[in-house]
Amino acid sequence: MNRVELELYLNDTLQIGQFRDYCPNGLQVEGRGEIRKIASGVSASLAFLEAARDWGADAVLVHHGYFWKNEDARITGMKRRRLGVLIDNDISLFAFHLPLDAHPEFGNNAQLGKSLGFADDGGRFGPDQLGWLGAPEQPMTLAALASHVEARLGRTPLMLGEPGREVRRVAWCTGGAQGFFEAAIAAGADVYISGEVSEPTTHLARESGVGYLAAGHHATERGGARALGEHVAARFGLEHRFFDIPNPV
């Protein structure tokens, strides 16, 4: 398909104009005009780009792209090597940050909830209403939920809170959204799941009585780019492959 056609479809599907983000969303690096093979991944790291190049990708689709606010604008070192792979091989880079977190079907939060079997009750919280609320398939303890998350994501979460606390209402937001914890508590959650954790998170969990699971930034955000890549491949007859570059964080 034509690159511009894909760009317009992705921008419209993810409603990128609705978000004030930390980076540009959409086409970040322009490659060849015709796209037959598209690779998806969490981050546009050098390892991911080289894997996509070796597979023969015409375009790559990621959650974490480039050109973040306040980063060094010079094209040197790591940035030069990454951009070199894209430009030298005429590969387009599509990147979607907050829009891919928020999308109700292909988004990271939607995909995490689906993977963990949470019933989405329609509740939202936090900036841009990015946080989701729902319930596990049946009430369980915080410790049991932590074990369930580990089994589904393949990574042991850091658990803060009383292991025996009963969990009926779950709040979650993927990635580095530990700053939403207070909003999740105010929304009535028994536990909040995100990717990362900060020093104050421990005290907030202890003093509020609400559990917290830090399940990994990468682990919680594997779903969005993959789901979106599968969708556009099926819709437009493209070949798609998801490359999961290991990341313990």
Point out the annotated binding site for a divalent metal cation: 63-64, 101, 217, 221
Decide: residue 4, CB within 10 A, 0-12 exposed, 13-18 middle, 19+ buried: exposed
- C-alpha separations of 55 from 4, 41, 49, 97, 132 in Å: 22, 13, 10, 24, 36
Q: Give the span between the Cα atoms of 22 and 70, in whole angstroms.
A: 9
Distance CA 146, CA 143 (A): 5
- The residue assigned the tokens 């580990």 is 150
Distance, first Cα to last Cα, the chain: 35
Binding site members:
63-64, 101, 217, 221
